[in-house]
């Protein structure tokens, strides 16, 4: 399954962190709404996506903002450097303005 986030094809969304890999990429935290639609609440990048999501400082914010069920979609980028991932993250933030920052 794929989800379009800011024009990029992300895998997922996944409701379990067990489905995530510790590989470089971007992650999109989404809130599940009625009718199986998802709203972006945060986006980030990391060299180790699974670890970043599991230990994120805004995790409590995600939970308080989204009580209906949150999930994570991932865009793995093994060929991109940190600066390139950060550039994509900022592009998505600017375009989609997620509420959790």
The CATH number for 22's domain is 3.40.1440.10
Answer yes or no: is pLDDT of 83 > 90: yes
Q: What percent of the chain has pLDDT over 90?
A: 74
The pTM (predicted TM-score) of the whole model is: 0.93
pLDDT of residue 100: 87
Give the total number of structural domains in the chain.
1
Nearest Cα neighbor of 9 from 37, 24, 22, 28 is 28
Which tens digits make up the pLDDT trace of 2-31?
889 999 999 999 999 999 999 999 999 999
In a domain, 64, yes or no: yes
CA atoms within 13 A on the CB side of 23: 10
Range of the domain at 25: 2-96
Work out the number of other CB atoms within 10 angstroms of the CB of residue 32.
Answer: 16
Centroid of chain to Cα 84: 16
Question: Quick one: average pLDDT of 64-85?
Answer: 93
């Amino acid at each position: 399954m794929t989800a379009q986030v800011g024009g990029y094809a992300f895998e997922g969304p996944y409701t379990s962190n067990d489905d995530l890999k510790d590989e470089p990429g971007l992650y999109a935290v989404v809130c599940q709404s009625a009718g199986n639609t998802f709203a972006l609440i945060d986006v980030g990048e990391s060299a180790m996506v699974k670890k970043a999501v599991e230990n994120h400082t805004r995790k409590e914010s995600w939970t308080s903002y989204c009580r209906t069920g949150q999930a994570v979609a991932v865009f793995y980028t093994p060929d991109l450097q940190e600066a390139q991932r950060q550039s994509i993250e900022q592009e998505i933030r600017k375009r989609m303005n997620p509420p959790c920052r």
